[in-house]
Amino acid sequence: MISGGDWVGGASLMSGPEITHVALTKNIPWDNKVALNSNAFELGELAARESVQILFQLKVPSAYSESGPFHQDLIIDLVC
């Protein structure tokens, strides 16, 4: 299960989690990746001793003009 929080920096909110998209396969266009949100969703399945690469892509809104460090909290849960 995976979910994401808002993009924040100091007291400033840049955007909600939906500007970050995620996929398990390389070379997927941003529009075809899954948008993060605050509700956890299943991204894929793992077998015992299997590893998986998770690819994140951020698209900053074109109207956003502030600078500085911003962060997003992600929650990745493994359901056994």
How much is the pLDDT for 32? 92
> Mean pLDDT in each 10-residue stretch from start to end of the chain (80 residues)?
87 85 90 90 81 87 77 86
3-state SS of the chain?
Answer: CEEEEEEEECCEEEECHHHEEEECCCCCCHHHCEECCCCCECCCCCCCCCCCCCEEEECCCCCCCCCCCCEEEEEECCCC
Residue 27 structural domain: 2-76
pLDDT value for 35: 92
pLDDT for res 77: 85
| CB neighbour class for 36 (10 Å; exposed up to 12, middle 13-18, buried from 19) | buried
**pLDDT at residue 5, rounded to an integer:** 92
Which pLDDT does position 20 carry in this prediction?
93
The number of folded domains in the chain is: 1
